[in-house]
């Protein structure tokens, strides 16, 4: 995939109407935004466009609304609701909870200027506001997933959205692995470039995968091998050292012939793990697995509740215990591998890091990256959350804004929302 894509810097936006795809999928409680991090992250691109004379038509999805009454009834019925109690009013109420109105209000505060809010995605309200929008002004469309054609990449919806603007700017990396109307569809009808967030993502991650400074170390964690099948295989083509921790490590340990007690085991993937260990050997890649493991009688319930643990060697896990984190020797082993690296990519926690007792492995990896002088890249999701919670975010070269997108990036997959942008 070509990562050399045109950005907003490469085009003239003065006097143009720009349809800007943002990631405003922010958490809310009772209609109040509980974290505005994603809105703040979009500001550099928005300010650049406004300051350079563009009229900005921002758009985003939020959550997973039921775009039709029928789909609302179907989903609620599947959850056990009585269909007789499901009214159109109840459906509209569920949509109201996922309105982008609070985002428009917060964005207005952050920009210090009014963000005009359309009451629809591409209907009369959106069309009227877009027609009147002047250079230096900004408006926000309603939640794009209120249109059922959004996730289906419907050409009619894409055409309607494109008719509002002259240029499309994509700046929501967390959505580019999906071919939706507002990530790929509109690019059929408008010249398309990336904003600063996506420019940074594909610049740093693209270089790390295509031309890394060596030694190149990748660290994979998380629960299941099946979640990262293609990532493991793809990284073995590129890295000097591959570290595997988290729940997925137990399937690799079992593939080596070790007993893993009641630990998470992807039994259908044992042959795959053996293939990957053989591939590592053939490629001259050092494959590091846990040498000791923090074990307990059962998974903590609640997840952050008290848990009694002890540490055992990874080849001696008792039959009635489950591995829930990497042990001290493994923490040192993994940290040492990071010390000599020039490029490090990390995706997935080393244990049940939501529990303080079982977070030491994930903390040790985060600390190793924070202390490293290498280019350090953290994939989205739990690894990113761990770095931020621990206060290490400012010591990491790049924390990806997209969980699923960064994972597919590591798989070597073509991301439709990136492929659709103009090449430099």
361-365: long-range contacts, CB 8 A cutoff, minimum separation 24 = 361/245, 361/294, 361/325, 361/326, 361/327, 361/330, 361/331, 362/221, 362/325, 362/386, 363/390, 364/326, 364/331, 364/334, 364/335, 365/219, 365/221, 365/245, 365/331, 365/334, 365/335, 365/338
- 409 pLDDT exceeds 90? no
Assess whether 38 carries a catalytic annotation.
Answer: yes
Active-site choice (381, 402, 403, 417): 381
CB atoms within 10 A of CB 424: 11
Nearest to 18 by CA among 190, 197, 198, 196: 190
Please give the backbone phi and psi of residue 276, each rounded to the nearest 5 degrees, phi first.
Answer: -70, -35
Q: How far is CA 415 from the centre of its chain?
A: 13
Active-site choice (224, 279, 329, 413): 224
Question: pLDDT tier at 230 (50, 70, 90 boundaries)?
Answer: confident
Assess whether 381 carries a catalytic annotation.
Answer: yes
In the chain, % of residues over pLDDT 70: 100
- Distance (Å, whole) CA 322 – CA 418: 41
- 345 pLDDT exceeds 80? yes
pLDDT of residue 323: 98
Strands 286-288 and 292-296: unpaired
Query: What is the dotted CATH code of the domain comprising 212-411?
Result: 3.40.50.1260
What's the token pair of residue 263? 């630990």
* Range 330-344 average pLDDT: 97
- Distance (Å, whole) CA 169 – CA 52: 14
Active-site choice (16, 21, 38, 360): 38
- Distance (Å, whole) CA 409 – CA 411: 5
- 208 vs 292: which has the higher pLDDT: 292
What's the token pair of residue 7? 């950005």
Query: What is the dotted CATH code of the domain comprising 8-63+98-200?
Result: 3.40.50.1260
HSE, side-chain direction, 13 A CA sphere, residue 97: 13
pLDDT of residue 380: 65
Please give the backbone phi and psi of residue 89, each rounded to the nearest 5 degrees, phi first.
Answer: -65, -40
Assess whether 224 carries a catalytic annotation.
Answer: yes
Q: What is the pLDDT of residues 24-60, one digit of tens each?
A: 999 998 889 999 989 999 999 999 999 999 999 999 9
Lowest mean pLDDT among 141-145, 362-366, 412-416: 412-416
**8-state DSSP, 5:** B
Question: pLDDT tier at 3 (50, 70, 90 boundaries)?
Answer: confident
Sheet with 115-117, side-by-side order of all strands: 115-117, 138-140, 55-59, 17-21, 167-170, 192-194
| In the chain, domain spans | 8-63+98-200, 212-411
What's the token pair of residue 209? 């995968």
- Distance (Å, whole) CA 385 – CA 128: 40
Same fold, 8-63+98-200 and 212-411: yes
Phi-psi bin for 265: left (phi > 0), alpha (psi -120 to 50), beta? beta
Lowest mean pLDDT among 140-144, 177-181, 231-235, 389-393: 389-393
For the four alpha carbons of 194, 195, 199 and 205, in that order, the dihedral sign comes to negative
- Distance (Å, whole) CA 71 – CA 361: 43
Q: Do 252 and 244 touch, CB atoms closer than 8 A?
A: yes
* Range 86-109 average pLDDT: 94
- Distance (Å, whole) CA 52 – CA 27: 31
């Amino acid at each position: 995939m070509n990562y050399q894509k045109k950005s907003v810097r490469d085009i003239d936006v003065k006097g143009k109407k720009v349809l800007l795809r943002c990631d405003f999928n922010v958490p809310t409680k009772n209609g109040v935004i509980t974290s505005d991090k994603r809105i703040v992250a979009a500001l550099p691109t928005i300010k650049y466009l406004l300051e350079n004379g563009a009229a900005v038509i921002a758009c985003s999805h939020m959550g997973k609304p039921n775009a039709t009454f029928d789909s609302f009834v179907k989903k609620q019925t599947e959850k056990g609701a009585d269909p007789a109690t499901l009214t159109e009013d109840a459906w509209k109420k569920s949509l109201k909870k996922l309105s982008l109105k609070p985002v428009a209000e917060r964005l207005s505060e952050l920009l210090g200027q009014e963000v005009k809010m359309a009451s629809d995605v591409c209907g009369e309200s959106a069309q009227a506001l877009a027609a009147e929008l002047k250079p230096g002004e900004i408006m926000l469309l309603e939640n794009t997933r209120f249109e059922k054609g959004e996730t289906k990449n419907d050409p009619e919806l894409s055409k309607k959205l494109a008719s509002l603007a002259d240029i499309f700017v994509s700046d929501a990396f967390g959505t580019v692995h999906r071919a939706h109307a507002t990530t790929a569809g509109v690019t059929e009808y408008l010249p398309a470039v990336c904003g600063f967030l996506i420019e940074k993502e594909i610049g740093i991650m693209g270089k790390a995968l295509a031309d890394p400074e060596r030694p190149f170390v990748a660290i994979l964690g998380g629960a299941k091998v099946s979640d990262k099948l293609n990532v493991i295989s793809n990284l073995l083509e590129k890295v000097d050292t591959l570290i595997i921790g988290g729940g997925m490590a137990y399937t690799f340990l079992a593939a080596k012939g070790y007993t893993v007690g009641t630990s998470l085991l992807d039994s259908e993937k044992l042959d795959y793990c053996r293939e990957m260990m053989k591939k590592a050997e053939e490629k001259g890649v050092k494959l590091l697995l846990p040498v000791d493991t923090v074990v307990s009688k059962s998974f903590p319930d609640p997840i952050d509740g008290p848990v009694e643990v002890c540490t055992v060697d990874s080849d001696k896990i008792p039959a009635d215990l489950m591995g829930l984190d990497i042990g001290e020797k493994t923490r040192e082993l993994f940290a040492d591998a990071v010390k000599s690296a020039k490029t490090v990519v990390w995706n997935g926690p080393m244990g049940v890091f939501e529990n303080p007792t079982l977070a030491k492995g994930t903390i040790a990896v985060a600390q190793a990256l924070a202390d490293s002088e290498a280019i350090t890249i953290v994939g989205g999701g739990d690894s990113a959350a761990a770095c931020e919670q621990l206060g290490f975010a400012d010591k990491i070269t790049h924390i990806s804004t997209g969980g699923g997108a960064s994972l597919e990036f590591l798989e070597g997959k073509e991301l439709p929302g990136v492929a659709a942008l103009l090449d430099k």
